[in-house]
Amino acid sequence: MTQIVFIDNFDSFTYNLVDQFRALGYPVTIYRNHIDANTIIHALSQMENPVVVLSPGPGKPSDAGCMPELIERLKGKVPMIGICLGHQAIVEAYGGVVEGAGNIVHGKTSMMAHENHAIYQGLPNPLAIARYHSLVATQVPESLTITAEVDGLVMSVVHEDHRVCGFQYHPESIMTTFGANLLVNAIEWAQNKHDRQISTTKPQRQELG
């Protein structure tokens, strides 16, 4: 069974997401972002079929404790799903740019056009989503594919080979229709991968760009 390793970025939405995953039948282990990355990576190395979920949170990705380091060390080895701040951290980790969105959006329902990627299989197009954000990806690297937008703003991305996806919006919100279906789709897509070995050794950090 898929095991969810949930990185908590100290956000009020955290336990809504955790409850949603558990209601869907997935076991969830929670680590707050002040935990050392080595501890989390060691735990992952002992698991079968883990998926790392990067939670929403305040501030910028660079403020989110161990999360940026985790993404750098896990990409290509462990599937990851990022939500809001987690999505932004994924974009930055792959060489993209996250900046102010121009307008602060808090609790707004938008109709989102998507590209009928596997994570949106069986869902309406456009899809009603809940948005709570002041930052947005303004430059997306070639390694990531944009899978949904609202008014030209990036709402979701995927890395096909690494089985990494990010959602700028909140699937767990009641304002996002079919949010539970979306999360199941994302996990099933993330798990459709070849086995990868998780190393507990910290690699040399490479310069991006």
The residues annotated as belonging to the active site are: 84, 170, 172
Question: Residue 72: exposed, middle, or buried by beta-carbon count in 10 A (0-12, 13-18, 19+)?
Answer: middle
Rg over alpha carbons for the chain, rounded to the nearest Å, is 16
What is d(CA 133, CA 105) in angstroms, rounded to the nearest whole number? 5
What is d(CA 183, CA 156) in angstroms, rounded to the nearest whole number? 13
89 close to 53: Cβ distance less than 8 angstroms: no
Q: Which residues make Cβ contacts (< 8 Å) with residue 137, sequence separation at least 6?
A: 87, 88, 91, 96, 97, 98, 154, 157, 168
**Type of residue found at 125:** N
Q: 126 preceded by cis ω (within 30°)? A: yes
The residue among 188, 193, 169 whose CA lies nearest residue 17 is 169
Residue whose token pair is 């994924």: 90
What the block records as the tokens of 69 is 């380091």
